[in-house]
Amino acid sequence: MLLKILLGVLCCVGALATENITEQLSPPQLLLVSFDGFRADYLRRFPMPNLKLLYSQGVLVEQLTNVFITKTFPNHYSLVTGLYAESHGILASNMYDPVSHEHFHINNDSNPMWWNEARPLWISALDSGYKTAAMMWPGSDVTIRNRTATHFLPYNPNVTFKQRVGNVTKWMLGDEKEKGAMFAALYWEEPDRSGHIFGPDNDTAMSEVLKEVDDNIGLLISELKITGLWGRVNILITSDHGMTQCSAQRLIKLDNCLHPDNYTLVDLSPVTAIIPLKDPEAVFKLLDKCHEHMKAYKKPDIPDRLHYRNNDRVQPIILIADEGWTIVRRGDKLPRLGDHGYDNALPSMHPFMAASGPSFRQGYRISSLQSVDIYPLMCKLLSVPPQPNNGTMTHARCLLAAESCWDVPLVIGLVVGVLLLLTAITVLFRFLSSRRPPGSRPFQRLQVDDDDDDDPMLE
Ligand SMILES: *[C@@H]1O[C@H](CO)[C@@H](O)[C@H](O)[C@H]1NC(C)=O
Ligand SMILES: *[C@@H]1O[C@H](CO)[C@@H](O)[C@H](O)[C@H]1NC(C)=O
Ligand SMILES: *[C@@H]1O[C@H](CO)[C@@H](O)[C@H](O)[C@H]1NC(C)=O
Ligand SMILES: *[C@@H]1O[C@H](CO)[C@@H](O)[C@H](O)[C@H]1NC(C)=O
Ligand SMILES: *[C@@H]1O[C@H](CO)[C@@H](O)[C@H](O)[C@H]1NC(C)=O
Ligand SMILES: *[C@@H]1O[C@H](CO)[C@@H](O)[C@H](O)[C@H]1NC(C)=O
Ligand SMILES: *[C@@H]1O[C@H](CO)[C@@H](O)[C@H](O)[C@H]1NC(C)=O
Ligand SMILES: *[C@@H]1O[C@H](CO)[C@@H](O)[C@H](O)[C@H]1NC(C)=O
Ligand SMILES: [Zn+2]
């Protein structure tokens, strides 16, 4: 009996001790936030005091090279999978799958078939025994590979930012019954929505919406402070793509080049996806010389760098408009004053990334990073084994406090500095020597300075 009690106590202490150890070993929770359509240079154009405060205590990546096509769904899925669009399967806002003959539209996206080619972090982190949460992130209310995040809400644009943050912090805190979510993703529609309506060049409208976005970041920070999460969790704020100004003077009209009977249109602008009907070669020829500000590619000829070819859902012909040009079927109506989706090499299409928390360096910035690198970074922060992906830790590593990282400009600066100093010393030494009369020995003279300068005995 006594032995049993003793064993029980030992067990209990043992369990408590292990619990403590595991608690200490478990990494900080991670909150990933996306503000849709936050073009990198908004950071320079508008004040954003709360965001600046956040990254002054952490890190800033001034520009993220995102994935083609630079649209919301492809890029949000790349952020949480580390895959190019051709590898995760969410290739556009409108898709057609020639195998299943299904159609995809962002308002009708809940068929898991579209998402199952990848495994987003909110699902793979479940396998590490973690709870996860995803608030209105594209795909978060879809049952992907038979699972969802532990916590999510169906997409509803009417739910305010405050309500989203309220739920996310509640999920991260957990309760007596359930541990807090180790990984949480949070999505917000601005400044994308206003960017489309007013165009990114409208300073009045954009400064208003970016003040709202920054106020929301302030609200997020104060909510994290109130709940005691601030300083304990890692927080990563980023976006999916930028935005560029469009114009009714820059319309490309497909009907001017080709009768609509000749093709099926899957997606329209700024990247058009076309299935030719009768004579593919003839259709391509007409589209190829359709407009000087639009490039036409047959699927096998789509440039490698776009990583937008190896998937059934890439159609036989795609058309890519030059920056600021809009592809329409016909008419003179400009659908959106601002748009995105263009070549991911364009700076106007790039978003940014800021992060802070216990794992990040403080007051550090780099000029650029690939957006597919964010996934392996998040896996490292969470100690979750990464799924096969297209990212690397080579550059992202430098953002972490625990990693020693050569700062190339600093190292070059130091080396150049030391070389200059050595040169200066040599030159000075030569100069001094050249002023000495021949045969004199200045260093030995020092020892005898006050005595007879020229005592030959001392030589
Ligand atoms: C667990 O850690 C807390 C502080 O982090 C400490 O107060 C407590 O005594 C520890 N418990 C055990 C069983 O080690
Ligand atoms: C959504 O897609 C499914 C399958 O493609 C289709 O049957 C359904 O009609 C669509 N719903 C709407 C509202 O478009
Ligand atoms: C999902 O679960 C069903 C049975 O519940 C199973 O037949 C199917 O293979 C699963 N799909 C995936 C992608 O795991
Ligand atoms: C959002 O609000 C609008 C206007 O109040 C309403 O018509 C719409 O049904 C709401 N959407 C959802 C998903 O609740
Ligand atoms: C969570 O979101 C719902 C809307 O779906 C809202 O009614 C509720 O107040 C939110 N909870 C918190 C704690 O903010
Ligand atoms: C800019 O947006 C404001 C609304 O905030 C609108 O009143 C104004 O007409 C727009 N200016 C231009 C040049 O489009
Ligand atoms: C395109 O469609 C029109 C009308 O149906 C037809 O006359 C023409 O031959 C077609 N052109 C090509 C290249 O298929
Ligand atoms: C991207 O990663 C996937 C998964 O590992 C791989 O299949 C694909 O070949 C990669 N793409 C490139 C361009 O390396
Ligand atoms: Zn958009």
Give 284 Cα–ligand 7 centroid separation in angstroms.
12
The 10s digit of each residue's pLDDT in 340-398 is: 999 999 999 999 999 999 999 999 999 999 999 999 999 999 999 999 999 999 999 99
The domain boundary residue, chosen from 355, 376, 399: 399
Q: Are residues 63 and 152 in the same domain?
A: yes
- Looking at the structure, do residues 197 and 151 belong to the same domain, yes or no? yes
Question: Do 151 and 280 reside in the same domain of the chain?
Answer: no
42: in domain:
yes
Residue 415: the pLDDT is 86
The answer to whether the CB of 18 is under 6 A from ligand 1 is: no
Q: Which of 89-98, 99-108, 336-345, 417-426 has the lowest mean pLDDT?
A: 417-426
Q: Which atom of ligand 2 is nearest to the CA of 102?
A: 5
Q: Do residues 222 and 352 both lie within one domain? A: yes
Ligand 4, atom 2, lies closest to the CA of 158
**In-domain check, residue 106:** no
Assigned domain for 431 exists: no
Is 1 among the domain residues?
Answer: no
Q: Looking at residue 322, which CATH number applies to its domain?
A: 3.30.1360.180
pLDDT, tens only, 207-235: 999 999 999 999 999 999 999 999 999 99
Burial of 24 (0-12, 13-18, 19+ CB in 10 A): exposed
The pick from 108, 113, 142 for probing ligand 2's pocket by mutation, whose C-beta has the most ligand atoms within 8 angstroms, reads: 108
As for ligand 5, residues whose beta carbon falls within 6 Å of it are: 153, 159, 163, 166-167, 170
Do 37 and 50 reside in the same domain of the chain? yes
158 CB within 6 A, ligand 4: yes
Partner residues linked to 264 by β-bridges: 275
Question: Which of 22, 65, 70, 72 does the annotation list as catalytic?
Answer: 72
Based on the domain organization, do 201 and 279 belong to the same domain? Answer: no
What is the average pLDDT across 135-142?
98
* 404 pLDDT above the threshold of 50: yes
Query: Ligand 8, atom 10: nearest CA belongs to which residue?
Result: 390
Q: Does 265 lie in the same domain as 239? A: no
Question: Which pLDDT does position 459 carry in this prediction?
Answer: 43
The last residue of one of the domains, among 399, 426, 442, is: 399
Which residue, by CA, sits nearest to atom 5 of ligand 8?
Answer: 388
Confidence of residue 194 (pLDDT cuts 50, 70, 90): very high
Per-residue confidence (pLDDT) for residue 32, from 0 to 100: 98
Least confident of 184-188, 433-437, 448-452: 448-452
Of 193 and 433, the one with more pLDDT: 193
Query: Does 11 fall in a domain?
Result: no
In this prediction, residue 436 carries a pLDDT of 63
Query: Is the same domain home to 200 and 322?
Result: no
Q: Is residue 15 part of a domain?
A: no
Domain shared by 166 and 195, yes or no: yes
Which structural domain, as residue segments, surrounds residue 354?
25-83+118-243+344-399
pLDDT value for 394: 95
What's 232-278 look like in SS3?
Answer: CCEEEEECCCCCEECCCCCEEEHHHCCCHHHEEEEECCCEEEEEECC
| Rounded Cα–Cα distance for residues 316 and 5 (Å) | 74
Residue 434 has pLDDT above 60, yes or no: yes
Nearest CA to ligand 4 atom 5: 158
CATH number of the domain enclosing 67: 3.40.720.10
Q: Are residues 360 and 309 both part of a single domain?
A: no
**Is 264 designated active site?**
no
Pocket test for ligand 3, best of 127, 146, 147, 148 (most atoms within 8 A of CB): 146
Query: Per-residue pLDDT tens for 296-314?
Result: 999 999 999 999 999 999 9
pLDDT band at residue 455 under the 50/70/90 scheme? very low
- In this predicted structure, the answer to whether residue 141 has a pLDDT above a threshold of 70 is yes
Flag whether 20 is in a domain. no
Q: Does residue 234 lie within any of the structural domains?
A: yes
Question: What confidence tens digit (pLDDT) does each residue in 243-302 have?
Answer: 999 999 999 999 999 999 999 999 999 999 999 999 999 999 999 999 999 999 999 999
The answer to whether residues 185 and 133 belong to one domain is: yes
What's the domain count of the chain? 2
Asked if 349 and 320 sit in the same domain, the reply is: no
| Of the residues 352, 370, 399, the one at which a domain ends | 399
Ligand 3 atom nearest to CA at 112: 13
